[in-house]
Structure 1
């Protein structure tokens, strides 16, 4: 029976796999479809999605996604989205454009806050203001400062996509998609090609919204423990304002090719003078839409079997071939109506492209003949099943995962409920697995599939300059065609837009944005049960939490016993433990054993300045998860990898080093702000310096030299790896962290104690990590048209000892001044400030920024902006937003790990409560205190910029800056 007369109940089913009652509704008046998932998840999710097929590459869907969140009928302020960022307890708040759809999901564990988010988002998508000024700001516009200045393009999306097209991996992905589906909307760039974006008109922009943003074209998902009837009431209040308007938004199918094709392209990059390693190549296929859940699961399992880990046969063949430095692709992607698949290599000599193609095809043909071993199939199925049942979606709310899973079929007229279950499909696949199913699928999907595309790209050192010149010439031609009146009008329009961007929203309009009050917030911190003790001679922390029959185990080893010169080896040392094999089994067998017996074993490192300022908490972790019956096997595996890993496996280690280097180089441009942040802080504190050695530009330099050393002096590298193991694996400098319920803990404790007792023990003191810290003034160059601009300092060293209330001040600064000046007015994709209370490190950062000096001026004006004062509403909202971050729901394994890490850093519950009190009691005096500190940053902070060489040289010349220029890519 329907819960609301305006909706027809189409289906009502219990889906045990996600512990949800799934109800599919259709709005009688408009035809809008609603999937209502009723379960006990406090992290409530709402998402509305529209089919938005782009007809060209002007980025119309992407620009609209940005723009609808810039003011609406009910909330006529410039940035309701930012007001929510400022003052909501959201656990997710964003929007995203895909090649065929645009999605607007929100989530919150607070019911009142959740309804507020839903209300603002529904008004935003259906009744946006969409002014011409918003289109200019978020999309593109001409900017002309004065009659003597050059005409330039500005716009948030325009500049965002310049950053995307500066990334070789993105260039490759775009070329593959557009070439694999040339006769469909997938042949266009939904994000927008910077060369095409300026062709988009405001009229086209408005018409696109009118056509596609309608309830008749909507798919809505609710998931969580909120009231199911209330969901429909909220929706009908909006939908009933519309009449039915069938929308032709179906995604046409790409006609199949009769023969494979090839395509080549270039990206703006440099060429290695010693050996060409600037190319990428991948072999790609278009695949028919899956017929149901079983086929979808089959695609995922086959992808994992082929390339899901370092021991998977196709990945292994590619990485061991010596043809490249790292794999790209990795399997079947089901995001599009017609899925695609791809496998290839990056870091190749472009002359070897045909060799890579042949290797991919030959390996697939060989697997059809030889088949997968029982061990391979068992490991893949167990790993897949474990993750399906665990439902650990990391930082993403589970309901969002359900939403996108359902949309894959639902968006194209298929069943939204079927993809959410898996028991029947998985049982059928298990039955078929040993009967040649996956081998037959390789033949059907790949070897007999003539819709195949081999795509290659290589670096072109001149492309960046050509693209810059082409844009300048295009703008010059536009300017030449403008008479004096047109030029003056362009100046007036530029000034008008800037004036509008500077305007402050009316208080009465801002008050319309729904918000919580301080009374809605919990005054007390949330705690995690923790029992500390000893086990087998090591330090123990145990957390009694409901884990649905899974044991989570973290083995931590204190890094302070290692000389600081050894620290850069740790990322690869950790990989070597799990990916080189042991004296008893090669790494393929070891990987399969991990897959068969556990839910996964992983390694990582954690760093933080201790709360008392006494130094750095620095630990290496080996973490695993398993059901109780398999915990003994998991411990055996952990013991084998810790004590018996094949650290003498030169070829395997060399492959990992090349993969690590290639992966890091691929992350430089998309993660430029994080690298700038790490570089800034490496000159401020010990923890910052270590982070740079383990994951910053210094680490990239280390990897490049290590690759050469492996070839020239392997004996020294092997000796270093053995030295790290001999020193690090020591139960006297170890922590054992267990998260499980009491019954599981009682069952597995004896075996864990016996395991720990058998580990090496030695009395080792901390070694000297003292380093000479020097602030960086650097310009790090990349072949791109955007910059990542950072400025920072250590506030404690400058004499400023702030409270936790500073996080509230920064929330306000980031969502007002920084958003307005760096993003809205400056055209960067993002700008923010970060502060770590424990270390005192502070940094301003920008992302995909067309500016450099202008952004630094914005940073230096931040103190003045804070001194301008804050209203009561903004203060309250900023407090709420910070408390929302503190109270963000965690999955059970994260709760246990976070509790342990707080202890290791000295963050007691008493200190956490004190900080919460400081946040809840934030006052204007805290704004003044941070303003004082930011004045010191403006005067004494240091600067790191990652960006184009021309921009950095120009900045040095213009300001006589002292940025030391060095090349990164």
Structure 2
């Protein structure tokens, strides 16, 4: 259908229309005349359709009201009155994305689906949730999702409970998260960006029900909304639905959600803050130093894009001059930074980690001296070219992996649209990029540094110091506050608190009316394609080696993988495989310094990544093949250069620069620490698998906590171990990079395959050709059942085993069990009742299974929930509609949209794991035919699995010590 400017379509007036060639889309901007809603449509041939409604939601305090509302509006609405329609959608829709997000100044509700009927169902539930939530009827929603006083009888102590409260306790346990929060606070003392929209755990209990309701009344009106439609959908039909079902009942309103600009400072602000470390920690070398700058406004497309490139140039690439200067100064052990352009006044930060407070002045001097030198002497033009090229490659590729492409475009559009500017200025990047490319011949970036970093006073210096025992002090302060509060209550007030706690629990455990459940729209099994999507993979031969070829449209990008078997490495050196992946490409080679090498990679390729990986053999209890994976990508016409660079790295890397090696090891240790704080559930699950699974043990050694401890030891004793490290890296690289040890994988159009052949063979033929001897690894497996202690305020509780070893086989219906266990049983008992942020189940083909919780205030209670899943299954009841819902939700997970790169990865994984297309189809058939009786039948397996008593918990030191009877060992993770 052709749309005309200034015409009205179902209440929506078309204001602007553009062709956006950068994203191959037609963009249309509408205004809904009656309600005042704004709508952006990006029409294109992408069948993964995206809908979102967002609101400008600037908070005035740190009680977390925008974040708590984001959770709460999805807990039932006018049209869908059940307690959790969000979970019903997760269980029973074909969504390819389903979530909600709180930012510093906006709250977004995006969904995506490839199925049109499902897409309209998702829109219906999300619009009703945002505009007509049940929060006005049920104060218990705030209690559950935000916070409440918990007391079951008058003799108990009062505690705080709530999903967001525990989520943010987890977030504020990470020193990096505390640092980011304090940076914004330091730069924006007078605006909304100076407060924590997610909620500070200290402030969350100050949020009242009236404030909560008033925030929704004020900001969740169509006049303050930003609606988005993306993909190949029927736009007229979509507009008609949104207007007639929702917007027409609202009249335009004047809503003041304007975001003020922070006035610049007269001088650099200096701030000192603290974060918790163990009471036994001396705190040495654990301070963070940061310099932070406000960089114009995000509505300036040129500065917005140029600073993304400049941040990479100064701090991210191995050739980054500012990072190099700071590392070589010895001020700290890791240097990184960020450029946050998601807020009105973007922030650029330079951070030194593992430092000390007395280095602050030296830190400032080195930063400003280095920046001044770059302005005076000029930035290396090859470095400029490299950083512009890698940014351009990523913009054109548009491979987001975690989010649908359409959602990425929405968030980019909002960075101008939210502030009343054209929503397309960051999507139409070609002209801006051309201006920035003038930097190849001018002092463009030097002037940018001068203006925004050297000649500004709107900046801050922040020192974040470790404070031993701070976590215990905070816990005691909360306990005393609640104790004093209890003492201040009258008997009647105490009775009311107990009554409120019990009323909440009664609501949480109460069932839903069948007629209400049936109001949530559901597809039928006939809407699902019974056939699985086939991944094209052809076995070919290339220069005497096996080639796994994926012929597909890749937009002239060649995705190339070199896959080496690592069974050539002896058992005692396996941990060096993980270290090798961190070192390759970051040290000198025979013909390049590591900085020149980084520039070559960024100029001629889309990036090269190195990683240890494992492929578990199908229909086994964890037999596996370990590999070393080199993943690369480049435009087809750059393949000759890609091959030359790979040859240089694989064959001519020099490991003998001790100074550089030490820098890499220090940075690696720092990044692993961050990952442990951010993903405690992953750390615990990997550790758990290492107790009973050889593949789990291998992965623990190459990338898990055992690897972190190995790196920690190398860093601590580097001077005495340096020669040994160099020798071992040289040894295993020679063993691994052998022609007889290699399988190649490529994804590109058939017409470009000859370019792969022509350019790869010279490299392959230069690899070592020695006869190989594959080693047998004999890991000691035993139940260690560890409590991994941190200064975090929450737990990650994991329990599992290998069900194949108990005599059970893998079936597709186990994935339906995963949906039921994760989104029914564990959601209700660990999240809703327990207050954890999340809980999930996993059942792998290898037999490795686990239950896990995320940011969980509990420990033993959660383990008891896992144990009781058996009883839940024995009594499991589900009618045809419910089983259909669970099956559809499971298919949604199986049918995640894949980029060309992801398709190549999946095809290779199936190949090495001996998973055939018949196996994948059989799994799908078993999902589609799963029955209530079959789900009930898994009770015995769960019972046997829980009796194995394998468990691992990452969590708060005091909490783990209180429950030490659960564990065989307690381990201090960071000491």
TM-score band by shorter chain is over 0.9
* 1:119 paired to 2:118: no
Distance 1:607-1:929 versus aligned 2 partners, 3 A rule: farther
CA distance in 1, matches of 2:55, 2:233: 23
The aligned counterpart of 1:180 is 187
Q: Measured at CA, do residues 536 and 60 of structure 1 come closer, stay the same or move farther in structure 2, by a change above 3 Å?
A: same
Q: Indicate the residue corresponding to 1:875 in structure 2.
A: 883
Equivalent residues in 2 for 1:443-454 (5 A)?
A: 443-454=450-461
Within a 5 Å distance, the mapping from 1:262-277 to structure 2 comes to 262-270=270-278, 276-277=284-285
CA distance in 2, matches of 1:575, 1:842: 29
How big is the alpha-carbon RMSD for the aligned residues of Structure 1 and Structure 2?
A: 1.4
Is the partner of 2:274 in helix, strand or coil? Answer: strand
Q: Which residue of 2 aligns with 1:136?
A: 143
User: Contact conserved, 2:116 with 2:233, CA < 8 A, in 1?
Assistant: yes
Cα gap change, 1:723 to 1:532, in 2 (>3 Å): same
2:12 paired residue among 7, 31, 35 = 7
Where does 1:491-890 land on structure 2 (aligned, <5 Å)? 491-613=498-620, 615-837=623-845, 839-871=846-878, 872-890=880-898
Matched ranges for 1:395-410 at <5 A: 395-410=402-417
The aligned counterpart of 1:57 is 62
- 3-state SS in 2 of match to 1:560: coil
1:133–1:917 distance in 2 versus 1, CA, 3 Å: same
The question of 1:372 aligning with 2:375 is answered no
In 1, the alpha carbon distance for the partners of 2:106 and 2:420 equals: 14
CA contact (8 A) 1:606 1:618 kept: yes
Q: Distance in 1 between matches of 2:673 and 2:439?
A: 41
Shift of 1:763: 2.2
- In structure 2, distance between residues paired with 1:60 and 1:274: 37
- Whether contact under 8 Å (1:180, 1:453) holds in the other structure is yes
The DSSP-based 3-state class of the residue aligned with 1:324 is coil
State the shift of 1:462 in Å. 2.1
The offset of 1:97, in angstroms, is 0.5
**Are 2:472 and 2:958, in contact at CA under 8 Å, matched by a contact in 1?**
no
1:344·1:360 contact (CA, 8 Å) conserved in 2? Answer: no
Q: Which residue pairs with 2:419 in the alignment?
A: 412
How far, CA to CA, are the matches of 2:15 and 2:462 in structure 1? 44
Alignment of 1:210-225 (within 5 A): 210-225=217-232
- Cα deviation, residue 882, structure 1: 1.4
- Hey, what's the Cα distance between the residues in 1 that align with 2:915 and 2:328? 45
C-alpha contact (below 8 Å) 1:284/1:454 kept by paired residues: yes
Once residues 784 and 127 of structure 2 are traced to their aligned partners in structure 1, the CA distance between those partners, rounded to angstroms, is 46
Corresponding residue to 2:331 among 311, 323, 330: 323
The 2-side partners of 1:673 and 1:139 are apart by 22
* Deviation for aligned residue 1:145: 1.8
Answer whether contact 2:867 2:946 (CA < 8 A) is retained. Answer: yes
- Are the equivalent residues in 2 in contact too, given 1:943–1:963 (CA < 8 A)? no
- Are positions 1:897 and 2:905 aligned together? yes
Q: How far apart are the structure 1 equivalents of 2:366 and 2:900?
A: 43
The residue correspondences of 1:85-164 to structure 2 (distance < 5 A) are 85-130=90-135, 131-164=138-171
CA distance in 2, matches of 1:267, 1:539: 52
Cα shift at 1:371: 1.2
What is the CA–CA distance in structure 2 between the aligned matches of 1:71 and 1:922, rounded to whole Å?
Answer: 29
Q: Secondary structure at the match of 1:277?
A: coil
Quote how far apart the aligned CAs of 1:410 are: 0.6
Provide the C-alpha distance between the structure 1 equivalents of 2:509 and 2:647, rounded to a whole number of angstroms: 61
Structure 1 residue 391: Cα displacement:
1.4
| Aligned-residue offset at 1:224 | 0.3
- Secondary structure of 1:55's counterpart equals coil
Question: Corresponding residue for 2:962?
Answer: 954
Rounded to whole Å, the distance in 2 between the matches of 1:499 and 1:290 is: 47
Is the 2:287–2:356 Cα contact (8 Å) retained in structure 1? yes
SS at match of 1:668: helix
Residues 198-277 of structure 1 mapped to structure 2, 5 A cutoff: 198-237=205-244, 238-270=246-278, 276-277=284-285
SS of alignment partner, residue 767 of structure 1: coil
Question: How far did 1:949 drift?
Answer: 2.2
Using the alignment, how far apart are the partners of 1:22 and 1:967 within structure 2? 54
Question: Within 1, Cα distance between the matches of 2:661 and 2:254?
Answer: 58
Partner SS, residue 682 of structure 1: helix
Query: What is the rounded CA distance, in whole Å, between the counterparts of 2:944 and 2:886 in structure 1?
Result: 24
Query: What is the SS of the residue equivalent to 2:30?
Result: strand
What displacement does 1:94 show?
0.4
1:272 Cα deviation from its structure 2 partner? 8.3
Contact 2:299/2:416 (8 A) holds in 1: no
Distance 2:305 2:150 in 1: 50
Unaligned stretches of 5+ residues in structure 2: none
Aligned equivalent of 2:31, options 26, 30, 53: 26
Structure 2 CA distance for partners of 1:822 and 1:213, relative to 1, 3 Å: same
Unpaired runs of 5+ residues, structure 1, are none
SS of the equivalent of 2:806 reads coil
Distance in 2 (CA, whole Å) between partners of 1:340 and 1:708 is 34
Residue-pair matches, total = 964
1:89 and 1:881 in contact (8 A); partners too: yes
SS where residue 662 of structure 2 aligns? helix
TM-score by length of 1: 0.98
Residue matched to 2:925: 917
Deviation track 1:116-153 (CA, whole Å, cap 9, x = no partner) reads 11111000000000120101000111111222210111
Q: How far apart in 2 are the matches of 1:649 and 1:821?
A: 54
The aligned counterpart of 1:965 is 970
Contact 1:572–1:656 under 8 Å retained in 2: no
Residue by residue, what CA displacement relative to the aligned partner does 1:741-796 show, whole Å, maximum 9, x if unpaired?
A: 01111233222223222222222132011111112211111112211111111111
Q: 2: CA distance between counterparts of 1:608 and 1:925?
A: 32
Deviates more, 1:918-927 or 1:12-21: 918-927
Deviation of the 1:856 alpha carbon:
0.9
CA contact (8 A) 2:615 2:912 kept: no
Kindly indicate whether residue 396 of structure 2 is the aligned counterpart of residue 389 of structure 1.
Answer: yes
Give the Cα separation in 1 of the matches to 2:314 and 2:727. 34
Inter-partner Cα distance in structure 2 for 1:687 and 1:370 = 52
Counterpart selection for 1:930 from 924, 929, 938? 938
CA gap 1:242/1:222 in 2 versus in 1, 3 angstroms? same
Partner in structure 1 of residue 496 of structure 2: 489
Q: 1:362 aligns with which of 364, 369, 374?
A: 369
Distance verdict in 2 for CA 1:290–1:432, change over 3 Å? farther
Paired position in structure 1 for 2:22: 17
How far did 1:432 drift? Answer: 4.2
Q: SS of the counterpart of 2:170? A: helix
* Residues 3 and 229 in structure 1, CA contact (< 8 A), matched pair in contact too: no
